[in-house]
Amino acid sequence: MNAARITAAELFEQQHERLALRWIAGQQGAALRVVEAVDTVARRPSLAGYLNTIYPNKVQILGTEELAWLDRLDARQRWEIIQRLINYRPLALVISKNQLCPDDLRIAAEESDTPLWGSPLRGHELLNHLQYRLARTLAPRISMHGVFMEIYSIGVLITGESGSGKSELALELVTRGHRLVADDAPEFTQIAPDVLDGTCPELLQDMLELRGLGVLNIRQMFGDTAVKRNKYLRLIVHLSKPSLEARPDGLERLTGDISNRRLLDLDVPMITLPVMAGRNLAVLAEAATRMHILRSKGMDPAAAFMARHSNFLERAQ
């Protein structure tokens, strides 16, 4: 699993146009202030939030009410609160609605190299946007070996040993109207408790590598509709060598070889397809995807067949 991190300089560079951010003080600490994914595991508060001196957020937003509250404190209390705020080493402080920055806060931020920004946006707009962006950037992520496709509008990861035919299957699926997301090393980010978002590394975008042909640019060969930027992972299709050992009860002949694979904190359904000469893997992958869609809607052909068989035996008695 990759350890995600972001600095104040990177966050400012990414969001300064969208949030109309401007530097007020502490620009020297832009590259030194870092938030890592491991910091978010044991922390009680959110990554971004309004001024909180008990459970401090990594990005502290100071709106009208927060600045008015500071103004109501006596000189000693105000100094203690500002020092406590600085000592928590936030990633940044953000003043909303282009309010005038208090001199003592600006001086404290400058002396401690604490990034202090201003924005014309309201506090809740800053909160919603920064919380989403930080959570997305620092979400748990993992890189997998395989080809990530969109098949019938759902995200399908094709895995298997080297030389099992993953890329050839992906190319056949593209020619059949499905879309490529990433080849070789798709990256998956857990953006919600039950959602893994798959994307392609920038270096590999639009590319598919096949033995004998080399690297193909799928976008140039098949057009913009043949590739997709990202997709939620819903199914894994694993290509394997045929096994001579069958389950004692023979149920795999009815139910298929279905299991789950653990990725980060999520169990992803996995269907294993034996690779044998003469088998049309593209048709099998499409059928596996259709079957997964039916099962997700509560329809199980194997269970229905076994129930029909049981009814037949009861009637025959």
For residues 25-39, one letter each, b for 16 or more C-beta atoms within 10 angstroms of the residue's C-beta and e for the rest, the string is bbbebbeebebebee
Catalytic residues: 145, 166, 184, 253
Give 307's pLDDT tier (boundaries 50, 70, 90): confident
Task: Tell me what the mean pLDDT of segment 83-99 comes to.
Answer: 93
Identify the CA nearest to 149 among candidates 171, 182, 177.
182
| pLDDT at 252 (0 to 100) | 67
Which residues, at least 6 apart from 81, have a Cβ–Cβ distance to it below 8 Å? 53, 70, 73
- Tell me which of 15 and 32 has the higher pLDDT: 15
| pLDDT at 216 (0 to 100) | 95
- Set out the domains of the chain in order of their start, with CATH numbers: 5-138 (3.40.1390.20), 141-311 (3.40.50.300)
Computed over every residue of the chain, the mean pLDDT equals 88
Render pLDDT for 140-183 as a digit per residue (tens, 0 to 9): 889 999 999 999 999 999 999 888 889 999 999 999 999 999 99
CA gap 66, 84 in Å, rounded:
15
Render pLDDT for 224-277 as a digit per residue (tens, 0 to 9): 999 999 999 999 999 998 765 655 555 666 666 788 999 988 999 999 998 887
Cα 316 to chain centroid, rounded: 54
pLDDT above 90 as % of the chain? 63
| pLDDT at 271 (0 to 100) | 93
| pLDDT at 253 (0 to 100) | 66
| pLDDT at 13 (0 to 100) | 93
Which residue type sits at 146?
Answer: G
pLDDT at 105 over 50: yes
Render pLDDT for 42-65 as a digit per residue (tens, 0 to 9): 454 578 889 888 888 899 999 999
- Classify residue 112 as exposed, middle or buried by CB count within 10 Å of its CB (0-12, 13-18, 19+): middle
| pLDDT at 301 (0 to 100) | 77
